[in-house]
Amino acid sequence: MARGVIFAVACWLFLVGIVVQVFLAGAGLFKLTDFTPHGYLGWGLPLGSLLLPITAIVAQVDRRTVSLAGVIVVLTFIQPELAAARHTDPLVAAFHPVNALLIFWLSWTLARRATALARPGLRQPIAAAD
Amino acid sequence: MAAAVRAIGPARLLFVLAAWLFVVSVVIQTVLVGFSIFAQLGGSLHRDFAYVYGWLAPILVLLANVARVPARLRTITIVLLVAFALQTVLPSLKDQYPFVSAFHTVNALVIFGLGVTLARRATDWVRGLATAAPAAP
């Protein structure tokens, strides 16, 4: 039970991190700041994403949820690489914002699944959280 | 099959179609902003495309009423319309209120999330109607 709560908290914290990161991108685009804060958090989030599958495995959730956490890790590690490709391959780098949408949506889905799993007695109707 | 389609009705099918078209448009819009930032294609494509598919937001509100969709879906269409209207205003505030303007990107996540939620729930609702429809003789 406590492990499930830790997994859910990790998922929601990661989602908050994604939203903050997207705000920092907006702050850079609209000249509130430069892109330095966005860049720093962009290298920190992939490390933070590693907690998702680790806490999922520790919480002994189903394989599908662990896989979803794994996909988020891969996409989050790809994300700064996409931005870094702007000098060599700008058309590939252009998918940086689309990948952000994907990471956001999958993280939202994972956070809702983790919350449903953490609630006692709600392990069966997990599909309702999709 | 024909009985199921009749039971759903054209307005409801159009509603589902428009909801998914909106989601696809948001993804294309995000690709366009990527092109303008990273491939220096200019921001006008991104801005102009918003005014092309932006019509879908009020059309969804209209279709939700015509198709008599459940109240929850109707509420999502209204919230989506408000979020979309806000999205078109936010960039224009960049000189006076850059902090507010910076929420343009966060609001994009909200619009995408609402769009996907609407499209998926509308699809599930219509599927339920099709399943409940009596089989053709």
Cβ pair B119, B16 in contact under 8 A: yes
CA distance linking residue B19 with residue B115, whole number of Å: 7
Using the Cβ of A90 and the Cβ atoms of chain B, whether some distance falls under 8 Å is answered with yes
> Is the model's pLDDT at B43 over the cut of 80?
no
Mutate to test the interface with A, among B35, B38, B89, B118 (most CBs of A within 10 A): B38
Yes or no, beta carbons of B31 and A95 under 8 Å apart: yes
In this predicted model, what pLDDT tens digit does every residue of B23-42 receive, in sequence order? 999 999 999 999 999 988 77
Write the secondary structure of B77-136 as one string of H (helix), E (strand) and C (coil): HHHHHHHHHHHHHHHHHCCCCHHHHCHHHHHHHHHHHHHHHHHHHHHHHHHHHHHHCCCC
Q: Is the pTM of this model over 0.90?
A: no
Cβ pair B133, B3 in contact under 8 A: yes
Please report the pLDDT score of residue A119 as a whole number.
Answer: 85
Which residues are within 8 A (CB) of A23 and not within 5 positions of it... i.e. 6 or more apart?
B102, B103, B105, B106
pLDDT above 90 covers a percentage of chain B that reads 74
Cβ pair A104, B113 in contact under 8 A: yes
CA distance linking residue B132 with residue B137, whole number of Å: 15
Residue A128's pLDDT band (cuts 50, 70, 90): very low
CA distance linking residue B96 with residue A22, whole number of Å: 21
Yes or no, beta carbons of A93 and B34 under 8 Å apart: yes
Please report the pLDDT score of residue A122 as a whole number.
Answer: 52
Mutate to test the interface with B, among A23, A30, A81 (most CBs of B within 10 A): A30
> Is the model's pLDDT at A129 over the cut of 50?
no
Best mean pLDDT range from A112-126, B38-52, B57-71 = B57-71
Please report the pLDDT score of residue B10 as a whole number.
Answer: 87
Q: Which residues from chain A sit within 8 angstroms of residue B94, using beta carbons?
A: 30-31
Q: pLDDT averaged over chain B? A: 91
> Is the model's pLDDT at A121 over the cut of 70?
no
In this predicted model, what pLDDT tens digit does every residue of A33-77 receive, in sequence order? 999 999 999 999 999 999 999 999 999 999 999 999 999 999 999
Extents of the domains making up chain B: 2-131
Please report the pLDDT score of residue A127 as a whole number.
Answer: 46
In this predicted model, what pLDDT tens digit does every residue of A13-38 receive, in sequence order? 999 999 999 999 999 999 999 999 99
CB atoms within 10 A of CB B77: 25
